[in-house]
Structure 1
């Protein structure tokens, strides 16, 4: 289930990124960062679901929190 959600989210983020790249619309950047944050949360949940005792899942959660903060700050400005 998480794999399908991850693939769907990654396709959406890729589409947003390509649209912003080719059309030079910098207004799409906060949406792309928020999508990447959601994607990293999903990847971290997959790592925790596999019962791996590694730092990777915690790193993914931390980076996603940072991306969400940056995206929210960009939405405000």
Structure 2
């Protein structure tokens, strides 16, 4: 289940990033950051379940930072 969710989130992030890069439209960046934060959170949970706690905790901290950037970008625009 986590693997499917990770793949779906990464495809969503790649699609939004590709669209923004090709079209020059940067209005979707906050949503891309949200999905990226969710992807890192899912990756962190999967790493902790596989008993790689150090990498899992690092991914969760990265997720928290990306969610912070998402909220900062969303509230300032």
Shared fold by TM > 0.5? yes
Counterpart CA distance in 1 for 2:57 and 2:44 is 7
Root mean square deviation, CA, Å: 0.9
TM-score, length basis structure 2:
0.93
TM superposition outliers: structure 1 runs of 4+ over 4 Å: none
The aligned residue for residue 20 of structure 1 is 20
CA distance in 2, matches of 1:28, 1:4: 23
How many pairs does the alignment contain? 76
What residue is the counterpart of 1:73 in the other structure?
A: 72
Residue deviations 1:2-44 (CA, integer Å, cap 9, x gap)? 1011111111111001011111111111111111100000000
TM-score relative to the length of structure 1? 0.93
Instruction: Give ranges in structure 1 of 5+ residues lacking alignment.
Output: none
- Identify the residue that residue 35 of structure 2 maps to in structure 1: 35
Q: Structure 2 unaligned segments of length 5 or more: list them.
A: none
